[in-house]
Structure 1
Amino acid sequence: MAEKSGEEAPQLSSGETLSTTGRFSLTARILLVNMLPLVFLGGGLFYLDSYRTQLINERFKLARIEAQITAEALAGATRERQEALLVQIGKEQGMRLRMFDAEGRLWADSFALDEPAFTFDDITDDTWDQQFARWLDRTVDTIVAAETVTDYVEPESDTAEAWPELVRAREERVSQVNLYDWRDGTPVITAAAPVGLNGATLLTVRNAVDITATVRAARTTLVTAVLLVLFASAMLSLYLARTIVTPLRQLANAAVKVRQGREREVEVPRLPDRSDEIGLLARAVSDMTGALRQRIDAVDSFAADVAHEIKNPLASLRSAIESLPRVEDPKLRRELEQIATHDVRRIDRLVTEISDASRIDAEMSRATLERIDMADLIRSIIGSREYRAENQNHRIELTTRGFAANVLGVGARLERVIENLLDNAVSFSPPEAAIEVTVDNDGTCVSVTVCDSGPGIPEDSREKVFKRFHSVRPEQEDFGNHSGLGLAIARAIAEAHDGSLLAESRSDGAPGACLHLRLPAA
């Protein structure tokens, strides 16, 4: 993976290019999603304004009917009877009733004849909740653009001309209704109706406090419920956000430290107590970080080993080349030239093996797997080696067992594994000794075992032979003919195929070692 130099990588902002929701934190989005429905529920406050209008309309109809019935009851009655009816109806209905004569002069008032049936609220001594209720009424009216209602003010004149509804009733000879607003926000409903045929008129005034009380009680209940649910929802949302955001921030901070590489050992929280997706993510990130750290350590170690292994033949080559101009003896010069040639070949072999080892992971990640019969592949390799005389007079015996030994893999890489195993067996086997190759398939796993007749591998060294540049060669073999990467490359290829490669002793008790390759069966 290539890294950009001189450019700071963006931190925790990749989601911002995917959606506009990336502009807001996860906590804010959780709060918004959980509280938005409650905000819509709070919109019921505005619905109550239409409910209030319906109540007033119904009260309009009632006020018109009451005025008409009262006017009919007053028509034809004596003055004493009319005054008694005004007082009685006013007390029973909680209204103020006024009678005007044909010239529009006030001649009877239920409040003047007896105790007032109601009194208007004096807002100067209202409590804070009443003040808040009036403020809420005004706020809702402003938001819903409610029609402005004329404030109710008692006229200074006692004539009918002071009341618009009375003027219309006298002119049109039909009942009229009007709406006013008292200072405390309660509606005042007036109704005017003609009384008899002599031109007299009746005016009723009602302060419909019950309408405002009903609407305000409903609003108070709704607001209280919405606020309580909003608070509970906010607390639950914050708790939910904390359980999600806090571990994500911990993982993000650990990932940033890993990327910056400022700390050698970064502890990525694994959250073992969480079995949900956050816990799975934490453990996956922790495992990924561990694998990345191992890969970095392996690369560092590999680079140091490469420098060390190349330095030795380079030093030998430099010494031989520097000595050549000072040597006059032809025989010694030929020996120095042979040493230089050997070192050059050794360096070339090392570079080739190192390049091959470093490309395994990258090539395997891009390779297309194909179905391969391991038995056929090994037969082909054995025939090619015999044709090239690479077996050094050793007899290679192939035995197949079980099902067809089919695996999914990269043919060239698996061929490299078998070649390395056979090279190792040929190197350690005595002259003309047989090399046994067994291929077995138990239905789930294909096993390839290569056994030689050499000195074997001590149990405490069976893992060391797979380390890079670890090379313990037979005494008869020329120095530098092997890089020490053969078995390390073979194991890397096996693991890239989800398999394994192990060193074992021979199962028959005879001297020698067995290299055991296991691959998943196709």
Structure 2
Amino acid sequence: MERPPLEVQEWRRGLGFGSLRARIFAVNIIAVLAFAIMLLYIDTVRARLLDERTAELAQEAATIASLAASLPAAERVKVLESQGFARGTRLRLYAADGALLADNWRRPGTSRFVIDNPDDRSWRRRSALFIDRALERLARIHPPTGYAEALPDRGDRWPEIAAASPAEPATRLRRAADGSLVLAAAARLPGKAASIHLTDSAEDLSQIVRAERLASFWLLIIVTIVTVTLSAYLARTIVRPLRMLAIAAHRVRLGRSREVVVPRLPERRDEIGALARALSDMSTALRGQIDATEAFAADVAHELKNPLASLRSAVDTLGQIEAPDLRARLMDVILDDVARIDRLITDISDASRLDAELSRSRFESIDAAALAAGLVEAYSVAPLPRGVSIAMAPASGPAMVEGEPARLAQVLRNLIDNALSFSPDGGKVELAAEADGALVRLSVTDQGPGVPPENRSDVFTRFYSQRPEAEDYGRHSGLGLSIVASIVVAHGGRIEVTDPPGGKGAAFIVSLPAA
């Protein structure tokens, strides 16, 4: 037989005896056990009815013994043999030596209970007797002794007669060859040596109990079928999809997320369907995070390779150059490359810690207009390069947002630095902050060359390499705008770049939910 995949084997190994399928069947089987216990209870009812019938027969034997003792000896046999009973009870009178003196079955037409021929049993009768024997063994009921008429018919052949006393009748339960139960009761005549012996069939009780048991048995069969069907349905609709999801998640955990497809179960509109779609979305996001991490690592290696190659070349050449001016130029190159690597490592470290720090940040209400005005004032303290100026557009009022102050300040600083880098000599950088209904919009506008429409989505990717023409290579790492985009998204906002109202330059617009 083909073995299941390794993932399935490992998943099953972790279940132990706590499988949800086993629990479903265990819970649903309680109803079946209840009906099975009810079948055993019916046997206890039969035992109680037999005890009541036995006590009744013993009392009847004692009553007849008292009556017989009061009759003259000449009339005693005649009176006893004339007695008839509705259930066909057999009444016999035995002498002290065991001889049969009277028997009511001798009289023609007397009602008698009948013991069937075992060979003439129908399949229903055989089935009923089989169930009787099975339940007796299950309930640990000791089977009664067999019933057979004494031949010759003498009183000393009935143990209950020997056990009876003038004060206390004796009883005995027997089973006939056809499976029916036969009750016997013996009582001694007061002041006489003779004994009364009554024999009665309990088949009517057995038929009542058997009918109840048969109805309960068929009900048990129906309940069992329904229970197993419902359990299988629940196992198929609950356990099977959960097992598929567990195996898929297990394969993702083992690092096989590339090849695994987490089922989304679109037809399920319940909690399991919601769980499947959540796991599928989570695996997709995880795959995206893995792709982003791999791409980031590749980009870092690529960006570090260029300054390191330049640095290695300058260091190798430095030992071969003796002219002071050339050595000074090579030292400048080495220092620039070291500074470039330092800036790159700093930005990479900041970008790698960004998600973790944002997840731990506690947001607070911030006036975005006041934050922007404070940064403009800070940048205006010292003269900006190339005569570029920075200003804040008048705000109509507070622009409140929920966020982390240091990170939102970092967003504005990165956008301002980017605008200053692309601004021409004597250009102007303008900030604005306005509340617009449910949003707060922050904008940073410059008068530089702008961003071509086809590249406007690329500027927010890591290590994007578009630079101003007058800027030395390596002045910026290419991570500033990607960090801005990550912070804005973490605050529930979005960022876009468009043309400014004047048509020249670029306008970076950040939209954040208003507090």
Structure 1 residue 78 displacement after superposition = 8.7
SS at match of 1:43: helix
CA distance in 2, matches of 1:10, 1:521: 52
CA distance in 1, matches of 2:35, 2:192: 56
Structure 2: runs of 5+ lacking an equivalent: 1-6
Q: Which one of 457, 466, 472 corresponds to residue 466 of structure 2? A: 472
Report what 1:5 is aligned to.
none
Structure 1: runs of 5+ lacking an equivalent: 1-7, 17-21
Report what 1:513 is aligned to.
506
Structure 1 residue 122 displacement after superposition = 4.0
Q: Which one of 112, 115, 133 corresponds to residue 120 of structure 1? A: 115
Distance 1:69 1:9, change over 3 A: closer
Q: 188-197 or 233-242: which moved more? A: 188-197
CA distance in 1, matches of 2:227, 2:168: 56
Amino acid at match of 1:313: P
Question: How do 1:62-461 residues align onto structure 2 when only pairs under 5 Å count?
Answer: 62-64=56-58, 66-67=60-61, 76=71, 82-83=77-78, 86=81, 89=84, 92-101=86-95, 103-112=97-106, 114=108, 117-123=112-118, 126=121, 129-146=124-141, 149-156=144-151, 158-167=153-162, 171-172=165-166, 175-193=169-187, 199-262=193-256, 264-390=258-384, 393-399=387-393, 401=395, 404-461=398-455
Report what 2:4 is aligned to.
none
SS at match of 2:26: helix
Aligned residues of 1:407 and 1:521 also touching (Cα < 8 A) = yes
SS at match of 2:380: helix
SS at match of 1:501: strand
SS at match of 1:387: coil
Distance 1:400 1:178, change over 3 A: farther
Aligned residues of 1:97 and 1:205 also touching (Cα < 8 A) = yes
CA distance in 2, matches of 1:248, 1:262: 19
Amino acid at match of 2:420: V
Structure 1 residue 516 displacement after superposition = 0.8
Aligned residues of 1:401 and 1:441 also touching (Cα < 8 A) = no
CA distance in 1, matches of 2:268, 2:431: 49
Report what 1:495 is aligned to.
489
CA distance in 2, matches of 1:466, 1:503: 10
SS at match of 1:23: coil
Q: 398-407 or 374-383: which moved more? A: 398-407
1:296-352 CA distance string (max 9 Å, x none): 111111111111111111111111111122223222221111111111111111111
CA distance in 2, matches of 1:448, 1:463: 18
1:259-306 CA distance string (max 9 Å, x none): 333463432211111110111011111111111111111111111111
CA distance in 1, matches of 2:477, 2:8: 40
CA distance in 1, matches of 2:13, 2:504: 60
Asked if residue 53 in structure 1 is aligned to residue 47 in structure 2, the reply is yes
1:362-394 CA distance string (max 9 Å, x none): 111122223322222222222222235456543
What number of residue pairs does the alignment pair up? 507
SS at match of 1:264: coil
CA distance in 2, matches of 1:133, 1:378: 94
TM-score, normalised on structure 1? 0.87
Amino acid at match of 2:381: Y
TM-score, normalised on structure 2? 0.88
Percent of pairs with identical residues: 42
Q: Which one of 18, 21, 41 corresponds to residue 24 of structure 1? A: 18
Aligned residues of 2:166 and 2:189 also touching (Cα < 8 A) = no
Distance 1:391 1:135, change over 3 A: farther
Aligned residues of 2:42 and 2:213 also touching (Cα < 8 A) = yes
Distance 1:136 1:392, change over 3 A: farther
Amino acid at match of 2:401: V
Amino acid at match of 2:156: E
CA distance in 1, matches of 2:481, 2:430: 18
Q: 45-54 or 181-190: which moved more? A: 181-190
Aligned residues of 2:369 and 2:395 also touching (Cα < 8 A) = no
Amino acid at match of 1:287: D
CA distance in 2, matches of 1:406, 1:11: 53
Aligned residues of 1:76 and 1:196 also touching (Cα < 8 A) = no
